[in-house]
Amino acid sequence: MSTTITWTDPAREQAFNAWLAPLAARHGLRLESLRPASADASFRRYFRIDAQDAGGASRIVMDAPPPQEDVRPFVHVAGLIAAAGLHGPELLAVDEAHGFLLLSDLGQQLYLDALRQADAAQADVLMRQAIAALVQWQARVDASTLPLYDGAMLQRELALFPEWCVQREFGITWTDTQQEQWARVAALLTASALAQPRVAVHRDWMPRNLMVGEGGPRILDFQDAVRGPVSYDIASLLRDAFVSWDEEREIDWAVRYWQAAREAGVPLDGGLQDDFGEFWRAMEYMGLQRHLKVLGIFCRLKHRDGKPGYAADLPRFFTYATKVAMRYRQLQPLLPLLEPLSGTFVEQGYTF
């Protein structure tokens, strides 16, 4: 095995080697080529290993240690993706008990890297492909077997912001009045999300979880998929953690998504079907819920998990959140809560 892979648990390393060795002959794997491929914000790790087939294709190995990780949702959603005719990893070998998976390799060019290098026209092509795949995901992935993205989950996510961002990152304790302001905003965002039609929600449909490929993007990191608000994933795509767009492009892509979703039969009732303005407002509310959650998660990664790099993108999310809070009168109470954290004086102004 490659010495570039480190293990903190010798028993897990032994179990991993015992699982992978028999697969080498079955799948033509070159064990000496095993090397790190990527890691993410969870406890999962990914390795790449070369195969001996004529094309020299590589494979991906997932190491998802229980009890921190459970690969069963990943396996389940991978099947839903395949049934929907979308491009996800093929499951070549599965050990659910130990959290080891052997997967097909979807490539090495992330959407995020491609978008950062693309000119305006190339970025438009990539984003339209991501939107088309999202519409197909929402129209064809069977959401009935996915966990419900209910009010309790939405509120738990929002609670990450005051706990980890406000208190832990900035050392601020809110007054009773400020806590009441926060509670009103959280209730508004939760109610807006729950009023939307429900579809399969990836929860991180963003350039870092899509790979460039022929015929459309390859989909990664889908194990947390739920049944929830229709606008969640398009909000994730347009207002990403690692790349931002001007609003003119956001609106253009949002309109294209909205039109394609209606044509594909994606549920857009509750006023979202006939009025793009209503859909845009619902998407902005949904995006704000996500932005506040991510602010909490990135601070938790820094303070609890020893991964400070994510905190570098906190300003991007403060910008997103402030922009939306300024735009809608009902969200005004959020502005004075954000200002001491973002370091930006926000003049109160409204467009809706």
pLDDT of residue 57: 85
The 10s digit of each residue's pLDDT in 173-214 is 999 999 999 999 999 999 999 999 999 999 999 999 999 999
**DSSP per-residue string spanning 259-325:** HHHHHHT---TTTTTT-HHHHHHHHHHHHHHHHHHHHHHHHHHHHTSS-GGGGGGHHHHHHHHHHHH
**Other CB atoms within 10 Å distance of the CB of residue 49:** 24
Query: Using the 8-state DSSP alphabet, how is residue 162 labeled?
Result: I
Predicted confidence (pLDDT) at residue 347 exceeds the cutoff of 50: no
Predicted confidence (pLDDT) at residue 318 exceeds the cutoff of 60: yes
> Could you give the CA distance from residue 160 to residue 162 in angstroms, rounded to a whole number?
6
Local confidence band at 41 (pLDDT 50, 70, 90 cut-offs): low
The answer to whether the beta carbons of residues 302 and 169 sit under 8 Å apart is yes
Q: Among all chains, which residue has been given the structure tokens 């088309």?
A: 132
> Could you give the CA distance from residue 167 to residue 11 in angstroms, rounded to a whole number?
38
**Other CB atoms within 10 Å distance of the CB of residue 185:** 22
* Max Cα-Cα span within the chain: 67
Find the length of the chain.
Answer: 352
